């Protein structure tokens, strides 16, 4: 549930903030009659996102056995890759930076359609990403991920509304920095679990079936174990290839982070 909440809050807040800024700008320039185009774009994006998520889930359910394991493993690894890209290449940018300019351009050119598509693509991007992440998280952690995601989305809507209406106590820079760190650890867990699924499918050899087994100390089926599994990909008896994937991913992230710091200084 925790992983789902984090994903729903992180993705939902960005979309809620963008829509909030658009509506606030329209109110500021006395163009509230155009709000309907924003809501229509938002509604269509939500419908398309739900459809995409349902299709992915249906495809996953329809595949069983060896093929199902391969599908799950590949889906999880793709989700981890996209999540990493979003955090590092898009997460560092202010999602609100161009919104007011885009709204102003739409009003200048008297283009309600531009407001519709601005809202549509802002919500669709987050919705499709969230659908993919949740599918991967659900495979790794169970159905409670969806409950957590709904709670996270509800919290995101409330937080976005409060911020866009002038309540600015939330430090967005700090919020995205902290959630980015948690999501990187979550993505590392997805990478390890994706390799685990491909181990079971026989696509990637385990090398060593269980490097260690500490389930007698902390079972990955206990309440704490399930929590750590959902958030960080904990496994009480991982294969060597799982451990290697996790370590390589973390080191790769550290290298990317250090290179970005170097580029920023130069």
The mean pLDDT value of the chain amounts to: 82
Q: How far apart are CA 242 and CA 235, in angstroms?
A: 9
Residue-range definition of the domain harbouring residue 31: 2-265
pLDDT for 249 equals 94
pLDDT category, 143, cuts 50, 70, 90? low
Contact assessment for residue 100 and residue 23, using Cβ atoms and an 8 Å cutoff: no
In the chain, the number of structural domains is: 1
pTM for the predicted model, two decimal places:
0.75
Contact assessment for residue 184 and residue 253, using Cβ atoms and an 8 Å cutoff: yes
pLDDT for 239 equals 95
Q: How far apart are CA 228 and CA 226, in angstroms?
A: 5
Q: How far apart are CA 20 and CA 26, in angstroms?
A: 10
User: Would you say residue 153 has pLDDT above 60?
Assistant: yes
Contact assessment for residue 183 and residue 36, using Cβ atoms and an 8 Å cutoff: no
pLDDT category, 142, cuts 50, 70, 90? low
First to last CA, the chain: 42
Tell me the percentage of the chain whose pLDDT exceeds 90: 22
């Amino acid at each position: 549930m925790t992983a789902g909440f984090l994903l729903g809050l992180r993705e939902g807040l960005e979309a809620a903030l963008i829509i909030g800024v658009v509506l606030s700008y329209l109110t500021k320039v006395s163009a509230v009659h155009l709000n309907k185009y924003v809501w229509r774009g938002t509604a269509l994006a939500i419908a398309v996102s739900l459809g995409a998520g349902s299709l992915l889930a249906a495809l996953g359910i329809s595949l069983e056995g060896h093929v199902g394991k391969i599908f799950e493993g590949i889906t999880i690894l793709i989700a981890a890759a996209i999540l990493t890209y979003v955090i590092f290449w898009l997460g560092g940018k202010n999602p609100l930076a161009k919104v007011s300019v885009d709204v102003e351009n739409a009003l200048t050119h008297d283009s309600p359609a531009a407001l519709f598509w601005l809202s549509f693509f802002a919500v669709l991007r987050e919705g499709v990403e969230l659908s993919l992440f949740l599918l991967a998280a659900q495979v790794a952690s169970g159905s409670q991920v969806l409950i957590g995601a709904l709670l996270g989305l509800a919290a995101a809507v409330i937080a976005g509304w409060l911020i866009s209406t002038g309540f600015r106590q939330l430090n967005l820079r700090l919020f995205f920095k902290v959630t980015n760190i948690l999501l990187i650890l979550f993505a590392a867990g997805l990478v390890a679990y994706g390799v685990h699924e491909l181990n079971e499918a026989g696509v990637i050899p385990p090398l060593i079936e269980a490097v260690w087994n500490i389930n007698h100390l902390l079972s990955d089926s206990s309440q704490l174990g399930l929590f750590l599994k959902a958030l960080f990909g904990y496994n009480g008896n991982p294969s060597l290839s799982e451990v290697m994937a996790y370590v390589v991913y973390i080191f790769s992230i550290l290298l990317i982070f250090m290179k970005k710091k170097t580029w920023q200084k130069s």
